[in-house]
Structure 1
């Protein structure tokens, strides 16, 4: 999975988007952004309309650090030329700024590009972006002179938008339920968090509202693509020196099985298959242990198949059990093998997540 694909997966799973400048509510950026991220902000956009490049770079350094700690996406407003220098995950442009194609060419192939939309036609054209903002839903001082689009455009976007979209403009604790009832399940917030006395508490309330949905309104089910994106976004790559506990248990199990079969072959307890069969099985187990220890995807997958076969075999054995000992033996294999199989599913998924590429 490329860096852009990983960013898009995190974007698809995002719900709450904070936008503010370098001094939100007259306070240092860190004093608002850090608690907001703790409260549940998934994306942060730094919007510094009249700031110099030096001021933007200084504020971006703070924003990038806190977003990285929280695992949130960091977006720069209207400056695709500074995306690489700031380490941002992407850029947001308005209808009067650079086009999506221009912004993407300047920001780089791995950068997300978002775009503001204010009409049905712009929502349709927004399919070229990675995400769109839909609004302003209500009149807001953040966009002086921009008339409110109302809830009708929110409903239109819910039915027709082809990319993730965020309702924006006057969305706060008093209006978020009506915006969601109109079809939104993501929101971009400015003043309701940036000017809140307690940004973390305000963020938690807004995030909770987005999770729960408007009272008395049945929310549309998430698509399989959205659910998969949420799962992918929650996965971290396995680091060079990291071996999750289930992987270590699987390696130890394979070594134990290999050793037992080696001992049986050496002592003559070879059964119907003969010593040759035991030695082959022994070699396979040792190879599986080495493959899993070195974190090869195929080794873990094949070991999972073996676990699945064991579970099925002993489940069938359990159905025909004629003694307490047979039942005990069946559960002694089914329970740990089933547990290990389930835990290795996440290990397999993490093995497919590459380490972050440099931006």
Structure 2
């Protein structure tokens, strides 16, 4: 089974848009002086790429990177060193076509690690999923000194990835504030950058410009309306599934409330205080509350939904009662029911959404 940590990392990856790649001395400066403002500006993923550094130098830079990424809740990736993923505390590793194969990188890095792969052709884009990569870089879109000897692929490969890639992908290679619009027009909605940020006089300002461009899309391009399935998937990407054996506090409160309501009505029925509806009505209501409590305790979607409907009815009923209140006691009673019932209703909305998250897929 896919680990819960890897699932969480994949959900964060799915929501990421801006990816920064840098060595330990970006633009000849301390890593912290560039990475910290870039993360404030909106970088979602940072990759430490130290091709000629010693292990000690990589570990030293990784400590800085990991600490700042944790503060910013950004993913931290290390380049081409799956053997250092655990030591650096990285969320994953990125490899090239001529580096460690994806399957081997995942075996070395561990089952919780993300594995990214560089691609430079349609065939490589197509093969990435079968190789087991979690995401891909597509490029270089433009010729760049960070990839000497690697010819530019141009916008055609970006468009191909937009139409055919089945993994999250980032256009990379010469992407900056001047070229990001054409790259997005070619089909990209995620980009990876190097020099645009690492060589910027004000890394935070440039990062904000790039993040804003990704948010609004290319000029003149009409964004397709998202389907309900796509919107649901995006919302679910921000949620974590409820682990086996764990019951969120709102679910516990709802279960206890249902039991309490059932017991109160049972006592009223037994003692003859059944009102106009008679003891039979109270007993039916009592049975419904106990059934709801059992269903919610076992995390049944329908039980939570039905209890939410009950809470909504209670809020509406006591709101109408409040409008007709003729005493301070009536007002106090209405608020005493409406406020906690309304609060519990909204807390259960999130629980209901988490219950809809598909179960973990096998690796």
TM range, normalised to the smaller chain? 0.7 to 0.9
Q: Give the TM-score, by structure 2 length.
A: 0.78
What pairs up with 1:1-359 in 2 under 5 angstroms? 2-128=4-130, 129-221=133-225, 227-235=231-239, 250=254, 254=258, 257=261, 261=265, 264-265=268-269, 268-271=272-275, 272-274=277-279, 277=282, 281=286, 284=289, 288=293, 296=297, 298=299, 302-309=303-310, 311=312, 325=324, 340-349=344-353
Report the count of equivalent residues: 343
* Cα displacement string for residues 93-138 of structure 1 (whole angstroms, at most 9, x for unaligned residues): 1111111122122212221111111111111112231111011111
1:345 CA displacement: 1.6
Structure 1 gaps, min length 5: 354-359
Task: Give me the whole-angstrom Cα distance separating, in 1, the residues matched to 2:235 and 2:281.
Answer: 44
Task: Give me the whole-angstrom Cα distance separating, in 2, the residues matched to 1:126 and 1:221.
Answer: 28
Q: Give the TM-score, by structure 1 length.
A: 0.79
SS at match of 1:76: strand
Task: Give me the whole-angstrom Cα distance separating, in 1, the residues matched to 2:248 and 2:125.
Answer: 45
Q: Is the 8 A contact 1:307 1:337 kept in 2?
A: no
Task: Give me the whole-angstrom Cα distance separating, in 1, the residues matched to 2:167 and 2:110.
Answer: 20
**Cα distance, 1:49–1:273 mapped onto 2, change above 3 Å:** farther
Structure 2 gaps, min length 5: 358-363
**Cα distance, 1:19–1:228 mapped onto 2, change above 3 Å:** farther
Q: Is the 8 A contact 1:167 1:188 kept in 2?
A: yes
Task: Give me the whole-angstrom Cα distance separating, in 2, the residues matched to 1:75 and 1:60.
Answer: 9
Task: Give me the whole-angstrom Cα distance separating, in 1, the residues matched to 2:111 and 2:35.
Answer: 27
1:310 CA displacement: 5.5
